[in-house]
Amino acid sequence: MDKILPSLLAGDFANLGRDIGRMEAAGADMFHLDVMDGQFVPNISYGLPVIEAISKVSNIPIDVHLMTLQPDQFIEELKRMGVAMVSFHVEATHHPHRLIQKIQQNGMKAGIALNPHSAVSELEYLLPDLDFVLIMTVNPGFGGQEFISQCVGKITELDGMRKAHNYQFDIEVDGGINDETAAICRDEGANLFVSGSHLFKAEDPAAAISRLRG
């Protein structure tokens, strides 16, 4: 089932509570939070105190994307906050399989994010254990970037591997997602759609979310 995840990085940080309520009323399925450390990516977004504040007012599940080094250090705290899904970058840890297990043992769905330069083959032996794969269709670290069309082939490749082996993981896409790019990604097998500026700048967020669902 397709799900729409507004990326709060595109929200108004001075009025996050308002924007959260606005997106919930519009029919969003989950919120997507990009955690940046200024090391793995050249930007800093928000840390654990802000995530905890968001978790207290959100009425829908939260998906946390760790764009950080040493992502394992955050898992217990994210569990305590009731986060539903956590993804990390395969380059950010020496032991990705161990981290997948740690996330799942803490009751959350585990995913790995692939940067535009990262190959699907890096995940070949991890796919049986993953709950989802996050395909970055922009370079991570900043919102409002244009969709990188060359990344669509990764969705196609992942969907082929999923069907060939009867794997159950979801395919999430993040970066430049609008009506047109969501349709392209959906046709190739994606079913979780992260959208930031497109939703938060929409005059009618409910209509925008409905269109993203296809």
| DSSP structure string for 45-85 | ---HHHHHHHHHH-SS-EEEEEESSSGGGGHHHHHHTT--E
Buried b (16+ CB within 10 A) or exposed e, 158-177: bbebbeeeeeebbbbbbbbb
Indicate the SS3 state at residue 145: coil
Identify the active-site residue in 19, 34, 37, 170: 34
The secondary element (H helix, E strand) that includes residue 159 is helix 152-165
Binding residues, by number, are: 7, 32, 34, 65, 141-144, 174-176, 196-197
Binding residues for substrate, by number, are: 7, 65, 141-144, 174-176, 196-197
- Give CA 149 to chain center in angstroms: 18
- Give CA 198 to chain center in angstroms: 15
Specify burial of residue 15 (Cβ count, 10 A radius: 0-12, 13-18, 19+): exposed
174 is catalytic: yes
Binding residues for a divalent metal cation, by number, are: 32, 34, 65, 174
2 is catalytic: no
Identify the active-site residue in 29, 37, 131, 174: 174
Tokens describing residue 205:
């967020």
Residues 6+ apart with CB under 8 A from 202: 208
Active site amino acids: 34, 174
